[in-house]
């Protein structure tokens, strides 16, 4: 991935900034410029999302693309954020047997992947079990 | 809208076809379809080819020109259609619209993917390009993992079991064992499926469709030309296409693929039929959970009851509503761009009564459903004798 592509996504990946439609009173992540419900009649603003939530669904990945190979097996979850939308994230710092639907999780800042030996290092959010 | 018929079908065998290239596969399927239709190349008005990612799998772009050229069809206008795994179904719809609008009278619709020239480790990444790259694949989500998330939730909400997920594979392998063009022409036991290696829990290797090479092709004609050329035209009576959120994270309900529901509604409405009128269907079982979700979303079974339907044998070849008589993506194979067209090849073959050992009795109305990605696109077509 090129540096500019990653750079422009930093606010969202590092600080969990989503979008909020003032008319529909709904939050979205990743950010959107047009509300999928009311299209352009609502005003969209940036919003800081809660860093806590619970597992809505999950899977343990055993076969991964090369850049994630070293991490296998790892858990991917859909997380329902507190007062917010569903977000897809890796779960980290946990035993894969402990992962289950309904468990509480919270966001942490982690390395996501590396573009080879000399490429940039991609950072962003992951979630850990909170209980 | 003008009536449109399928007057010829052809496909290559699906599988790991080391000796064939993207172009040779497409041409082989094309020649078979045009020979079947009895139409010489000079009568073809337009060409549509579904291909997900020749660009990545074999580094070939500009596929439309390649196929027209090596198909000996120059200077016929040729268009490549891409919508991930729904590329083939979408190519069919483009062909249908070209004739229905009066722009063309005879159209060739192909679908192809040459997947095994890429390394296995690269293939996982290429397929993940059908997901949201920045917000799904970036986090390490693979394609199987997206369907695994749906499967886990479906099990949680409706009590769908690993055994039901596995019985889909057993059924589709049985059907594939009767299909001489299938990638996997062998049966598998329930035990073998349930003990196969985990790919993305709860999905195991035998819950996943394979990486295949292959091509499929159909010839479409206007009513006038179909009646002139063909003794047994199969009519396209319904067509629906819908888009859904590209990311699974943005669905209201991950146990439903809204694009399928919406495409199905459009196709049923156009055909003037209901799900009860469908005698058999080819649905998009890229993972076995997908078949369960598909047959619910198409209105054949209530939400949450797709798993029971396979358990009770309703969707078996000799059941009330046979699903994936070809073996489906699971056993027939899944060369992604070819899949949507190959589904049509199967439905037409069944409606003509020429499906041999896997022939469905009294098949009058058949349906195809083709999904792109984890549900970002769906295409449904309904066919009748």
Task: Summarize pLDDT for B66-78 with one digit per residue, the tens.
Answer: 999 999 999 999 9
Give the ipTM.
0.96
How close does chain B come to A28, measured CA to CA in Å?
8
**Backbone φ, ψ for residue B343 (5° rounding):** -60, -40
Give dist(CA B203, CA B367) in Å, integer.
26
Give dist(CA B45, CA B314) in Å, integer.
42
Give dist(CA B295, CA B303) in Å, integer.
9
Among the candidates B234, B268, B288, a domain finishes at B234
Q: Is residue A94 part of a domain?
A: yes
Residue A1 has pLDDT above 70, yes or no: no
Query: Where are the alpha helices (H) located in B210-326, listed in sequence order?
Result: 223-229, 258-271, 288-297, 306-311
Residue contact B156–A57, C-beta within 8 A: yes
CA-based nearest residue in chain A for residue B197: A62
Using a CB-CB cut-off of 8 Å, the residues of chain A touching B137 are 65
Average pLDDT over every residue of B86-100? 98
For residue range B185-214, list pLDDT tens digits in order: 999 999 999 999 999 999 999 999 999 999
**Residue B176, domain extent:** 130-210+238-384
Whole-number average pLDDT of chain B:
97
Q: How many CB atoms lie within 10 A of CB A16?
A: 21
> Beta strand B46-50 with B78-81: parallel, antiparallel or unpaired?
parallel
Give dist(CA B385, CA B238) in Å, integer.
13
Residue contact A71–B140, C-beta within 8 A: yes
Tokens of B205: 């290797």
Residue contact B250–A89, C-beta within 8 A: no
Give dist(CA A124, CA A10) in Å, integer.
8
CB pairs under 8 A between A and B: 100
Same domain, B268 and B295: yes
Give dist(CA A26, CA A37) in Å, integer.
9
Same domain, B109 and B169: no
Under 8 Å between Cβ of B6 and B383: yes
Residue contact A57–B152, C-beta within 8 A: yes
The set of catalytic residues of B is: 85, 334
Produce one character per residue of A46-77: b if its CB has 16 or more CB atoms within 10 Å, e if not: ebebebbbebbbbbbbbbbbebbeeeeebbbb
Residue B263 belongs to domain with CATH number: 3.40.47.10
Cα atoms in the 13 Å half-sphere on the side-chain side of B67: 34
Cα atoms in the 13 Å half-sphere on the side-chain side of A37: 16
Q: Is residue B125 part of a domain?
A: no
For residue range B34-61, list pLDDT tens digits in order: 999 999 999 999 999 999 999 999 999 9
3 state DSSP class of B340 = helix
A90 DSSP assignment: E
Q: Is residue B124 part of a domain?
A: no
Residue contact B153–A59, C-beta within 8 A: no
Same domain, B228 and B108: yes
Q: Is residue A6 part of a domain?
A: no
Using a CB-CB cut-off of 8 Å, the residues of chain B touching A57 are 149-150, 152-153, 156, 254
Instruction: Check residue A7 and give its pLDDT.
Output: 81
Using a CB-CB cut-off of 8 Å, the residues of chain A touching B196 are none
Q: How many domains does chain A have?
A: 1
Give dist(CA B317, CA A88) in Å, integer.
38
For residue range B117-167, list pLDDT tens digits in order: 998 878 888 998 999 999 999 999 999 999 999 999 999 999 999 999 999
Q: Is residue A23 part of a domain?
A: no
CA-based nearest residue in chain B for residue A27: B250
**Backbone φ, ψ for residue B225 (5° rounding):** -70, -40
Tokens of B219: 């010839």
Q: Does B211 touch chain A (CB under 8 A)?
A: no
CA-based nearest residue in chain A for residue B144: A61
pTM of the predicted protein model: 0.97
3 state DSSP class of B80 = strand
Candidate from A65, A89, A112 with C-beta closest to B142: A65
Same domain, B168 and B299: yes
Candidate from B134, B197, B201 with C-beta closest to A59: B201
Using a CB-CB cut-off of 8 Å, the residues of chain A touching B144 are 61, 63
Q: Does B259 touch chain A (CB under 8 A)?
A: no
3-state helix, strand, coil in chain A (%, to 5): 15, 45, 40
Same domain, B59 and B181: no
Reported as a pLDDT band with limits 50, 70 and 90, residue B95 is very high
Residue A3 has pLDDT above 90, yes or no: no
Q: How many domains does chain B have?
A: 2
Q: Does B133 touch chain A (CB under 8 A)?
A: no
Give dist(CA B219, CA B226) in Å, integer.
10
Under 8 Å between Cβ of A114 and A121: yes
Tokens of B324: 């994936």
Instruction: Check residue B151 and give its pLDDT.
Output: 98
**Residue A96, domain extent:** 51-129
For residue range B276-331, list pLDDT tens digits in order: 999 999 999 999 999 999 999 999 999 999 999 999 999 999 999 999 999 999 99
Same domain, B329 and B379: yes
How close does chain B come to A23, measured CA to CA in Å?
19
Q: How many CB atoms lie within 10 A of CB A108?
A: 13
**Backbone φ, ψ for residue B230 (5° rounding):** -110, 145
Q: Is residue B141 part of a domain?
A: yes
Give dist(CA B23, CA B7) in Å, integer.
23
Beta strands in B129-274 (DSSP E): 198-200, 203-204, 214-222, 234-243
Give dist(CA B381, CA A92) in Å, integer.
43
Q: Is residue A44 part of a domain?
A: no
Same domain, B366 and B317: yes
CA B353 to chain centre: 20
Residue A91 belongs to domain with CATH number: 2.40.50
Q: Is residue A29 part of a domain?
A: no
């Amino acid at each position: 991935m090129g540096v500019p592509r990653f750079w422009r996504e930093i606010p969202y990946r590092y600080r969990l900034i989503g979008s909020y439609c003032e008319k529909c009173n709904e939050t979205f992540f990743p950010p959107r410029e047009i509300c999928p419900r009311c299209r352009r009649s609502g005003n969209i603003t940036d919003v800081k999302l809660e860093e806590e939530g619970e597992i809505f669904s999950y899977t343990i990945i055993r076969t991964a693309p090369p850049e994630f190979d070293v991490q296998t097996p790892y858990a991917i979850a859909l997380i329902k954020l507190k007062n917010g939308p569903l977000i897809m994230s890796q779960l980290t710092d946990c035993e894969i047997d402990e992962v289950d639907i309904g468990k509480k999780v919270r966001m942490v800042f982690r390395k996501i992947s590396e573009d080879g030996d000399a490429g940039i290092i991609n950072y962003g959010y992951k979630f850990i079990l909170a209980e | 809208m003008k009536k449109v018929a399928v007057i010829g079908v052809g496909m290559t065998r699906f599988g790991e076809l080391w000796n064939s290239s993207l172009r040779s596969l497409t041409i082989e399927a094309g020649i078979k379809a045009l020979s079947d239709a009895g139409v010489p190349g000079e009568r073809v008005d337009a060409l549509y080819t579904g291909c997900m990612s020749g660009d990545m799998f074999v580094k070939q772009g500009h596929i439309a020109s390649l196929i027209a050229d090596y198909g000996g069809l120059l200077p016929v206008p040729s268009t490549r259609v891409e919508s991930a795994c729904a590329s083939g179904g979408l190519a069919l719809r483009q062909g249908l619209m070209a004739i229905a609008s009066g722009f063309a009278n005879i159209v060739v619709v192909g679908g192809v993917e040459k997947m095994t020239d890429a390394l296995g480790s690269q293939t996982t990444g290429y397929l993940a390009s059908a997901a949201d790259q920045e917000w799904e694949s970036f986090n390490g989500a693979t394609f199987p993992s997206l369907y695994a998330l749906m499967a886990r939730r479906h099990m949680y909400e409706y009590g769908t079991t690993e055994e039901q997920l596995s019985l889909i594979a057993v059924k589709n392998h049985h059907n594939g064992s009767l299909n001489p063009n299938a990638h996997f022409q062998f049966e598998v036991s329930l035990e073998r499926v349930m003990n196969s290696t985990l790919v993305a829990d709860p999905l195991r290797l035998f819950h996943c469709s394979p990486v295949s090479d292959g091509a499929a092709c159909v010839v479409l004609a206007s009513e006038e030309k179909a009646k002139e050329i063909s003794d047994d035209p199969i009519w396209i009576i319904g067509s629906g296409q819908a888009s859904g959120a590209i990311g699974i994270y943005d669905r209201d309900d991950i146990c439903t693929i809204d694009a399928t529901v919406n495409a199905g509604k459009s196709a049923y409405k156009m055909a003037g039929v209901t799900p009860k009128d469908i005698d058999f269907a080819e649905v998009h079982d890229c993972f076995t959970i997908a078949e369960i979700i598909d047959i619910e979303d198409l209105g054949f079974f209530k939400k949450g009851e797709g798993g029971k339907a396979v358990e009770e044998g309703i969707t078996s070849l000799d059941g009330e509503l046979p699903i994936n008589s070809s073996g489906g993506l699971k056993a027939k194979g899944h060369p992604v761009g070819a899949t949507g067209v190959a589904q049509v090849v199967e439905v037409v073959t069944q409606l003509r009564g020429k499906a041999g050992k896997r022939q469905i009795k009294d098949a009058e109305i058949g349906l195809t459903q083709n999904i792109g990605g984890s549900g970002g696109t769906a295409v449904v077509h309904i066919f009748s004798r």
